[in-house]
């Protein structure tokens, strides 16, 4: 894959790291994030007060180095492939839809609980959902795409079941919305990806 094909993925990674670094400069406060993170995190009471943008900006905030590193690796690996096949515009639509879908799911399931949601994993799960859809739309790549998507999806959902501070609602919401968005979009470079895959297979 050509690096320049993953413009949106690279931009999202850069934005997450910029927010993380800037937030690290601020004193740690609400929910393990700093002042900047607190202004962007998904806090249901603030959303109800009119700060609707939090259902999207939460995806650029991360609570600790391990959190952002794991999400960055997943976003780079999955986003690179899905963005190339769908094209940047369609991929951006999938990512944003999954981000907001995950945010809304987290919002509706945490109202009144005092819970704070942060992280790009809802949007990333949407990318894996899109990868599953691609497996259906692009039969020659089905085995590789489905296998690459199912394992992380199952692991993330199981992880969320056993840890109380993980928002499985955001994961499931992002997964479903990302897959649905992918259903209505056409993979721009599917044929090229098939050619590249076949030429690299012994």
Q: Which residues are catalytic?
A: 121, 171
CA dist 180 and 194 (Å) reads 23
Q: How far apart, in whole angstroms, are the C-alpha atoms of residue 98 and residue 75?
A: 13
**Do the Cβ atoms of 69 and 59 come closer than 8 Å?**
no
Neighbours of 199 (CB within 10 A): 7
Closest CA relative to residue 42, chosen from 125, 127, 94, 115? 115
- Total residue count of the chain as it appears in this document: 202
Task: Give the chain's end-to-end CA distance (angstroms, integer).
Answer: 18
Rounded CA-CA distance 6/1 in Å is: 9
The gap from C-alpha 156 to its chain's centroid, in whole angstroms, comes to 12
């Amino acid at each position: 894959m050509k690096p320049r094909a993953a413009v949106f993925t690279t931009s999202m990674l850069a934005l997450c790291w910029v927010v993380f670094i800037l937030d690290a400069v601020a004193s740690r406060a609400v929910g393990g994030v700093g002042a900047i993170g607190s202004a962007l995190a998904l806090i249901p009471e603030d959303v109800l007060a009119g700060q609707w943008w939090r259902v999207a900006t939460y995806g650029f905030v991360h609570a600790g180095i391990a959190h952002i590193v794991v999400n960055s690796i997943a976003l780079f690996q999955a986003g690179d492939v899905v963005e190339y096949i769908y094209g940047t515009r369609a991929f951006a639509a999938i990512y944003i839809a999954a981000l907001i879908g995950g945010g809304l799911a987290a919002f509706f399931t945490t109202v009144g609980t005092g819970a704070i949601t942060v992280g790009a994993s809802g949007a990333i799960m949407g990318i894996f959902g899109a990868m599953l859809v691609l497996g259906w739309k692009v039969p020659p790549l089905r085995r590789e795409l489905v296998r690459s998507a199912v394992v992380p999806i199952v692991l993330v959902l199981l992880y969320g079941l056993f840890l109380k501070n993980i928002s499985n609602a955001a994961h499931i919401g992002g997964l479903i919305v990302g897959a649905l968005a992918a259903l209505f979009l056409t993979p721009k470079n599917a044929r090229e990806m098939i050619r590249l895959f076949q030429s690299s297979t012994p």
